[in-house]
Chains A and B, each alone.
Chain A
Amino acid sequence: MTDKLITANHLGDGLVVFLTAEGGWSYKLADARVISDAELEPALALAKAQHEAGIVVDPYEIEATVVEGIPVPVRLRERIRAAGGPTVTYGEAEIAERAATLKHAG
């Protein structure tokens, strides 16, 4: 038996969200409701209804393991999604990071 989470993208801003215990959606992985196999079907039905209602887009379940009380997705793809952004720095932060590295090296 594995634990599951339900994830989707928020309709308005497109950002990654997780179904919470209260039946709402959160941007934070820590807020995600951990769902057993037995509970999955009704939880998915709820998520689908929220898709139909235009709150989220394309909900689906992912596998997760709970580490120190926080669910961690099993697949790398889902871990990257759950982090809310790429594994590399971007934009001005990337430029600043590179400048700092060069300074350090120099």
Chain B
Amino acid sequence: MYRYDEFDHEFVTARVAQFRDQVGRRVSGELTEDQFKPLRLMNGVYLQLHAYMLRVAVPYGTLNSEQMRMLAHVARKYDRGYGHFTTRQNIQYNWPKLSEIPDALAELASVEMHAIQTSGNCIRNVTADHFAGAAEDEVADPRPYAEILRQWSSLHPEFVFLPRKFKVAVTGAERDRAAIQVHDIGLHLKKDAEGRLGFAVYIGGGQGRTPMVAKKIRDFLPEEDLLSYSEAILRVYNLNGRRDNKYKARIKILVHETGADEIARQVEEEWERIRHGALKLPQGEVERIREYFAAPDTLTALPPSPVLAIERARDPEFDAWVERNTHPHRIPGHVSVTISLKPIGGTPGDATADQMDVVADLAKRLAFDEIRVSHEQNLILPHVAKRDLKAIYDELVVAGLATANAGLVTDIIACPGLDYCALANARSIPVAQRISQRFGDMARQRDIGDLKIKISGCINACGHHHVGHIGILGVEKKGEEFYQISLGGSGDEHSSIGEIIGRGFSTEEIVDAIETVVDTYIAKRESHDETFLAAYRRLGQAPFKEALYGQA
């Protein structure tokens, strides 16, 4: 795993000291809220509906057990014993006191964690495939490049005050598990015909009030040019992105209004000027950083073992969990495990401090000390020997973390919504909980198959509703919560923005409406193998519209 170098240490420690001073001056009245707000946002501190909220970065979603234990400790000592894992692979604490946040940050810094680049109009934490470094279908681990981008972007003087926030995601597999096409920059790590590493570069994707699928502006960018090309993109954006209107300030609007071809031309032109300069990545440096992410030496191929098959045959619930919650690993005899933070009827993405400790302990003992946070708000043990699966499962069951629903209808993404968020118009969590309960029966979920429901409590789309196979957007209408359904969205390598199906539904109606959509799919699918998304793409809106609203 990446370890801080001396510079990182100094940088983070200095930032904590600065923020401690700023908080002190705010509390003493020396700084006004207007002066303090941008400073706290640079350190991940928001003022939400009920209290301050601290968002801690988990760069590219990678953690070790010591760091997870610290997250649990912070939850206990500075919060109310739990945290919320987010769609950007970070964690949020909902109740910290302002005066105690510098202490929390100092403790986090002791395990190389911080809240930098989790907020504000900067280049945000880079996200990556949660199976990075483990997945069987991966060309190469995308995280070294995410880390290189982090080093380049942290406090980059030219890009501290961008027109708006800027999000980068990287995947190293054809199968996109990082939703790169709905990011400001999406990077698809791949090999060319000669076997050299490089990237397909996408720009201008995003969700929010104007959802856009990114445009591919380059099919293959050599690895060594990653930073110079990124800098060229940021320069074009920084110069031409709109600053007059917050809602039109993201790069997606610039790409849309200018045209992808013209933006690509400008980027290439700028890149030509700088590509042979200081930003060219030295191969030695790439190798050095790649070393940090190398799999542990002890992670070696294991011969096939009959034990797992016997254990699966003996315990149908374990069998179902292995079927849904494990992912093929590149090293024989291993898998990646998804630890569901979506218990039936629970709050999506929440984990208690005790649960975090259980995950840390399992990672340390049985999973090569590695943990990931997925953008789908689950936790991942990327490296697990198949022979250890039952032991891990048994402990997860006790901790309430063994729901066998990865990728199923109850594996719902939901933003905090009006229960926590100052921007929200409607609640997300109770809707997610009721849908989860309605479809709670495991046999029914498995029969429905792969289905991603994503819920946002406002148009900012933190719950990714635009790319949900079924998306739900909460709105306020005449003082009441209403929920708009969109269908056919997807955040994978064939990304699409969901289409609104018709008028919205009340709180009382929404769960029935979702069930109607699902039942319509079941009735119309060609076979059990045709997923909801495939069926929707074949059928279009009509049968769903008719089922929801009757004949036109």
Contacts and interface: CB of A to CB of B under 8 A. Distances in A.
B49 A58 contact: no
A34 B400 CA distance: 45
Nearest to A82: B50
Main secondary structure of the interface of B (DSSP, over half): loop
Given A54-B27, A90-B350, A76 B418 contact: yes
A81 B343 CA distance: 26
B352 interface: yes
Nearest to A15: B51
A43 to B, nearest CB: 19
B347 interface: yes
A12 interface: yes
Contacts of A94: 82, 346-347, 350
B418 A80 contact: yes
A77 B80 CA distance: 22
Given A86-B419, A95-B352, A58 B80 contact: no
B433 A88 contact: yes
Nearest to A86: B419
A86 B479 contact: no
Contact of B352 (A84, A91, A101): A91
Contact of B27 (A12, A15, A99): A12
A44 B95 CA distance: 27
Interface centre among A14, A84, A85, A94 (most CB of B within 10 A): A14
Interface residues of B, number: 42
Nearest to B424: A77
Contacts of B430: 87-88
B328 interface: no
A86 to B, nearest CB: 3
A84 B418 contact: no
Given A52-B32, A92-B352, A86 B27 contact: no
Given A54-B27, A58-B33, A94-B347, A87 B52 contact: no
A98 B346 contact: yes
Interface string B404-431: 0000000000000011100011010110
A80 B427 CA distance: 10
A74 B82 contact: no
B98 interface: yes
A98 B50 CA distance: 24
Contacts of A92: 81-82, 352, 354
Contact of B51 (A14, A54, A77): A14
Interface in A37-54: 51-54
Nearest to A9: B47
Given A86-B429, A87-B430, A94-B350, A14 B52 contact: yes
A79 B346 CA distance: 23
Contact of A88 (B52, B82, B419, B480): B419
Interface string B477-501: 0011100000000000000000000
A42 B507 CA distance: 39
A98 B343 contact: yes
A76 B350 CA distance: 23
B511 to A, nearest CB: 15
Contacts of A9: 47, 51
A28 interface: no
B98 A13 contact: yes
A16 interface: yes
B277 interface: no
Contacts of B350: 90-91, 94
Given A15-B50, A81-B50, A95-B352, A88 B32 contact: no
Contacts of B347: 88, 90, 94
A5 interface: no
B97 interface: yes
B516 interface: no
A92 to B, nearest CB: 6
Contacts of B345: 98, 101
Given A12-B99, A76-B481, A81 B49 contact: yes
A57 interface: yes
A66 interface: no
Contacts of A54: 26-29
A90 B80 contact: yes
B352 A57 contact: no
A91 B82 contact: yes
Interface string A44-73: 000000011110011000000000000000
A99 B481 CA distance: 29
A88 to B, nearest CB: 5
A58 B422 CA distance: 12
Interface string B1-38: 00000000000000000000000001111001100000
Given A92-B354, A95-B352, 4 more contacts: A76-B480, A81-B49, A92-B352, A98-B343
Interface of A: 9, 11-16, 51-54, 57-58, 74-77, 80-81, 84-88, 90-92, 94-95, 98-99, 101
16 contacts: A11-B98, A12-B97, A12-B98, A13-B97, A14-B96, A14-B98, A16-B50, A54-B29, A57-B47, A77-B49, A80-B427, A81-B49, A84-B50, A91-B80, A98-B346, A101-B345
